[in-house]
Amino acid sequence: MHNRNRQVGIFLALAVAVGVAIFQSPTRQHAHSSHDVVLVTHDSFVMSKELVADFEKTSGLKLTLIKAGDAGSLTNRLVLTKDAPIADAVFGIDNTFAGLAMSHKLIDGDLTPTDFGDACFNYDKAWFKNHQLQAPTTIAELALPQYRGLTVVENPNTSSTGLAFLAASVDKFGEAGWHKYWQSLKDNGIKVVDGWETAYYTEFSGSSGHGNYPIVLSYASSPADEIDAQGHSLTASILDGCFRQTEYAGVLLKAQNPENARTLINFLVSKKFQETFPTAMYMYPIDTSVPLPDSWTANTQLAAHTFGDKLDINTNRKMWLTQWSAIFE
């Protein structure tokens, strides 16, 4: 009998330990009070300390920021956690994933557009000058032999920028032609990396990373960040085959503090925050009345015509990605 008591004792002790640990912990990762607001964003979101302080002061709320990967990972993660959302509001779902977010009913109400930008190729001006080569002007030219092994793109499976360009290529070359186009890019030695930051900061020769590839899939606004002492940009955009990416914010369904989330989203579309999009995130403010920085007006322009943003990305994404992967693996 002694032995039995001992075992019952061990069992009870373990059960109590686990129980206490589970139920003493906050039921949420952030012990929410009515003065809290949690914003989940993609990895590229930047909000200066001054702006955070400004928001907290004017609203009387305490802001917590969570980063959850690129736009795709962010949206998928919100789908997987929609029963008990990890935040009150989301920023950074773009038009390649907005359909997914809406079909899974992630958002309370509508998505609010906050900013936009054109995903397109950039090239390193100095590299082409040194090699006495004319830089390409269309995306079709990237498959030409003189540009062999010069281009780095993001994997559309793991990068929303990559997915945006895949959609643009489908639009430009058609369902019948885009496979052939990508096959020719592959045959021409295109390099595929997992994300925008690796492509731009590690592989691209025109950025601070001084990589080996003079052509990179980035944004029409990126040249504004590569300015020399004279105020001239060291890089330029190829304004063909661009995808207009629009980013959205929204209140998450079942959020603990939906009212606070609305207050925060109103702040994101206010002039004060909109002004910071170009310098902090290299995106155009959705509010066109907000003036752009001088470096932007001098060195960047949007594409006259964009591709792919009108396609039904949500329906076709999986098929495109499977077919794209079949070419590259």
Partner 1 sequence: MNKNKPLAWAAPLVFVGVLFYWPLGRVLAQGLGGDWLATISNVRTAHVVWFTVWQALISSALSVLLALPVAQILHCRTFWGNRSARAIITLPFILPTIVVGIAFTPFYGLPTITRIVIAHVFMNVGIAVRIIGSVWQRIDTSVEEAAALDGASQIRVFVSVTLPQLKVAIASASALVFLYCASSFGVIMVLGDLHTHTLETEIYISATQFLDLPRTTGLSLIQTALTAGAFITAYKYSRGSLSLSENFDTQQQTPIQKRDRIPAFATILIFCTLIFWPLARIVAKAFTFNGTLSLSNFMNLTGYGARETLSITLMQATLNSLRNLTIATSLALAIGTYASYLLSRQRLNESSRLPVAFLDTIFQIPVGTSAVVLGFGYLITFSSGFMPLRSSWIATALVQALLAIPLVIRVVYPAFVAIDIHVHEAAAIDAARTEDVVRWIEYPLIRRSLLTAAAFAALVSLGEFGSTSFLAYGDQATLPLVLFQLISHPGPQNYGMAMATSFLLLITAFVIVYSVSANTQSRQTPTYRANSDPQT
Binding mask 114-153 for partner 1 (x = CB under 8 A): ----------------------------------------
Least CB distance from residue 100 to partner 1, whole Å?
A: 8
SS3 for the chain, per residue? CHHHHHHHHHHHHHHHHHHHHHHHCCCCCCCCCCCEEEEEECCCCCCCHHHHHHHHHHHCCEEEEEECCCHHHHHHHHHHCCCCCCCCEEEEEECCCHHHHHHCCCEEEEEEEEEEEEEEEEEEHHHHHHCCCCCCCCCHHHHCHHHCCCEEEECCCCCHHHHHHHHHHHHHHHHHHHHHHHHHHHHCCCEEECCHHHHHHHHECCCCCCCCECEEEEECCHHHHCECCCCCECEEEEEEEEEEEEEEEEEECCCCCHHHHHHHHHHHCCHHHHCCHHHHHCCEECCCCCCCCHHHHHHCCCCCCECCCCCCHHHHHHHHHHHHHHHHC
Instruction: Build a one-symbol-per-residue string for 91-110: x at contacts with partner 1 by CB under 8 A, - elsewhere.
Output: ---------x----------
Please tell me whether residue 17 binds partner 1 under the rule CB under 8 A. yes
> Judged by CB under 8 A, which of 194, 234, 275, 298 binds partner 1?
194
209 binds partner 1, rule: CB under 8 A: yes
Region near partner 1 per CB under 8 A, out of 58-66, 107-115, 133-141, 182-190: 58-66
189 in contact with partner 1 (CB under 8 A): no
11 belongs to the binding site for partner 1 (CB under 8 A): yes
| Site of interaction with partner 1 (CB under 8 A) | 2-4, 6-8, 10-11, 14-15, 17-18, 21-22, 25-30, 38, 40, 43-44, 46, 64-69, 72-73, 76-77, 79-81, 83-84, 86-87, 100, 155, 157-158, 192-195, 197-198, 201-202, 208-209, 318, 321, 328-329
